[in-house]
Structure 1
């Protein structure tokens, strides 16, 4: 079998993006430049690419639904770790210790979108095999659709992007709840 038989299980576009993201994350951490767009995109795509590759190589016989939710959660946590290591800090701090109503409204919308997105992705997977006319270019670029890599790569990236807005607010609320001695006001 030739190396150039297409489509590959893991396509060339995710490989190139993951390698570039590793380089850009290293530069952002080394030079402490978290505010560039490339640092943001690299911190998102590097863990998602690694998680999808590891899943395809070692865990592809496992449940894809659990893997998708886990990859989104791990990708967003690793995003926050990489951005923190590169010098990114939260600037907006309210004086009274409460989140503003607009932040809570965005938080509620993000949680709703995350649940709706995952419900849609997990229930409507689409066809397992593409025809030439339908999605040959997608298979050629991202990898074979009948393998879990391409689904996990795309689904994990968009889900992690949503969770990036949810997790800091949850973490701050949990810390406040612990600091207040588990009292609900």
Structure 2
């Protein structure tokens, strides 16, 4: 019998966001609109939810940081694959889309690296454990009750929830970092446009 009493391992909020993200990706492919910022966010939400459920169903016998870093790398590749497929499946008519947008290089690189760096350091220093709320209840019953109430919405303080947020924010930063580096490489290696040669006068 399926256990439906709260709190779930992956709560209603991450579950609903994953379903909404899957719908966004599906609609983008059906309408063949190509990829956009909304599509990238939907792809991030989808891979985060899938990664969390995968860890919930099958937990590798390695430490949580190895799982988190592996999930971020793999899901980054999946996001780029989905973006490439949406680009291939787009309708040919309409305005041409830019593969990468103009960004401020230094600020963009620092900001994009901050996402995976901060989230990984936080989870390394304070890993999510299943007895987290019990520890709070031991020192402060109100904090423990509040923690359990939050678990009804987000899910248990356990590895799947850590993977969900770690992949969501970490992959976002990695994707932005790779896109910015790709943009910089295009600008560096692409030949500069020559100025138009003056026309000869008669």
Residues 171 and 74 of structure 1: is their aligned pair in 2 closer, same or farther, counting only changes over 3 Å?
A: farther
Aligned ranges 1:31-42 → 2 under 5 Å: 31-33=31-33, 34-35=35-36, 37=38, 39-42=39-42
Of 116, 122, 125, 2:124 maps to 122
- Cα deviation, residue 164, structure 1: 1.5
Matched, 1:143 2:155: yes
Q: Distance in 1 between matches of 2:5 and 2:110?
A: 46
Structure 1's unaligned 5+ residue stretches are 94-99, 177-185
SS at match of 1:135: helix
Residue aligning to 1:159: 170
**For the residues of structure 1 that align with 2:55 and 2:86, how far apart are their CA atoms?**
27
1:10 and 1:123 mapped to 2: Cα distance?
22
SS in 1 for 2:71: helix
Helix, strand or coil at the partner of 1:86: helix
Q: How many aligned residue pairs are there?
A: 170
The residue matched to 2:30 in structure 1 has which SS?
helix
TM-score normalized by the length of structure 1:
0.74
Report the secondary structure of 2:132's partner residue.
coil
C-alpha distance in structure 2 between counterparts of 1:52 and 1:149, whole Å = 5
**Does the 8 A contact of 1:22 with 1:42 survive in 2?**
yes
Paired residue for 1:180? none
For 1:157 and 1:166, how far apart are their aligned partners in 2? 15
Note the residue ranges of structure 2 that are not aligned, 5 or more in a row: 88-96, 138-143, 188-202
Counterpart-to-counterpart distance in 1, 2:84 and 2:109: 21
Kindly indicate whether the alpha-carbon contact (under 8 Å) linking 1:29 and 1:82 is maintained by their aligned counterparts in 2.
no
Q: State how far apart, in whole Å, the 2-side matches of 1:11 and 1:112 are.
A: 27
> Compared with structure 1, are the counterparts of its residues 63 and 173 closer, same or farther at alpha carbon in structure 2 (3 Å cutoff)?
farther
The structure having more radius of gyration, on CA atoms, is 2
Distance (whole Å) between structure 1 residues aligned to residue 115 and residue 51 of structure 2? 23
Q: Distance in 2 between matches of 1:62 and 1:121?
A: 15
2:6–2:152 contact (8 Å) kept in structure 1? yes
What's 1:7 paired with? 7
